[in-house]
Homo-oligomer: A and B are copies of this chain.
């Protein structure tokens, strides 16, 4: 069956600054991102035919009317999507399906989250009280992965710190990033513990923010602003597993089956056989530093157990063989949950078009965005290519 390859294009992108927005609500952030993406495409809001809005937490907003009210787009179809941390990317995915079906010429995918108002993280309110099983809070959950990876692969806290240092170096240069300071390995290692062995700089920022993407058929995008740097969808693959993997027998917790499955699906859809050679730039889900290391393996960029060495050798730096999170990642750009997937599409598109607002990686033609949603439950991968 045909996938999405070459059947949808990214015609415009925008992101708000991620961080603390005490003077803006969800509507304000969504409006800023959506108006930005529509203007970036060279369109007006009236030309948008349908919307998909990603919102993870009910305190941010509910229903398609959230987007309608934010941008005064009334009388059109709008869907709210929620899929843990892959929420924004799933909004994008569903917009792509409708466009690929030919039902709409021009669709808007966006995501927003307002987390700072909810205290330190707001995350407890995102998870429902499960009637059967309790879920540990995110840092405790990923601390299990770090502990087990240390034991299994011989990695240590210094390996994690290398990821943090790289992503801080990138994030410091992005004008829209939440955490904009460089750090050293020594600072990372000396930081206070959050959930051993994860320390402060191993954890991503908890942010407010919104991002948006205009999705069109490629023929339509060829008549819009970025016709000379057309970015098309090569794959958008999702794999969902249990919400309770930490209770599943046999789960080693040194990698995420959801990402591994999604990667296999995405590479098949895009026709990619050697990810490391063929993919030029990556935004991946570094909710914690350990997650980025495990992602590199799950995404097939290096052999099992070698991600720490791969990182220490500088391959994932902005000037390395495989730039990973040139935006600063969730780690420094921030992580307003519903917005993150669309923010990654914004970053990868900007990179491919040579107009990244922060660090610009050289000569990138194919980029990959990856989300890991829930407690390892959702693997979500979008592959974009510059076609001209």
Q: Which residues of A contact B (CB under 8 A)?
A: 1-4, 7, 25, 51, 56, 58-69, 74-84, 90, 93-94, 97-98, 100-105, 126-129, 131-132, 237-244, 257-258, 261, 373-374, 377-378
* Extra contacts besides A61-B128, A97-B98 (16): CB < 8 Å: A1-B104, A2-B103, A25-B131, A51-B240, A60-B128, A62-B127, A63-B373, A65-B378, A68-B241, A68-B242, A68-B377, A75-B258, A77-B240, A78-B240, A80-B82, A101-B102
Q: Are A68 and B105 in contact (CB under 8 A)?
A: no
Q: Which of A56, A59, A80, A102 has the largest count of B CB atoms less than 10 A from its CB?
A: A80
Q: Are A58 and B241 in contact (CB under 8 A)?
A: no
State the copy count for this chain.
Answer: 2
Closest 4 CB pairs of A and B: A77-B238, A65-B243, A101-B101, A100-B101
Q: How far is the CA of A206 from the CA of B78 in the complex (A)?
A: 26
Q: How far is the CA of A131 from the CA of B66 in the complex (A)?
A: 12
Given A3-B103, A80-B81, A257:B75 Cβ within 8 A: yes
Given A63-B82, A97-B103, A257-B75, A128:B242 Cβ within 8 A: no
Q: Are A66 and B102 in contact (CB under 8 A)?
A: no
Q: Are B102 and A103 in contact (CB under 8 A)?
A: no
**Which residue of B has the minimal Cβ distance to A25?**
B131
Q: Which of A58, A64, A76 has the largest count of B CB atoms less than 10 A from its CB?
A: A64
**Which residue of B has the minimal Cβ distance to A61?**
B128
Q: Are B241 and A65 in contact (CB under 8 A)?
A: yes
Q: Are B377 and A65 in contact (CB under 8 A)?
A: yes
- Chain B positions within 8 Å of A82 at CB level: 62-63, 80-82
**Which residue of B has the minimal Cβ distance to A2?**
B102
Q: Are B75 and A83 in contact (CB under 8 A)?
A: no
**Which residue of B has the minimal Cβ distance to A379?**
B75
Q: How far is the CA of A82 from the CA of B76 in the complex (A)?
A: 16
Q: How far is the CA of A101 from the CA of B95 in the complex (A)?
A: 11
Q: Min CB distance, A347 to chain B, in Å?
A: 23
- Chain B positions within 8 Å of A59 at CB level: 128-129
Q: Are A242 and B65 in contact (CB under 8 A)?
A: yes
- Chain B positions within 8 Å of A81 at CB level: 79-82
Q: Are B63 and A83 in contact (CB under 8 A)?
A: yes
**Which residue of B has the minimal Cβ distance to A74?**
B241
- Chain B positions within 8 Å of A103 at CB level: 1-4, 97, 100
Q: Are B239 and A69 in contact (CB under 8 A)?
A: no
- Chain B positions within 8 Å of A80 at CB level: 81-83
**Which residue of B has the minimal Cβ distance to A96?**
B101
Q: Min CB distance, A5 to chain B, in Å?
A: 10
Q: How far is the CA of A25 from the CA of B299 in the complex (A)?
A: 35
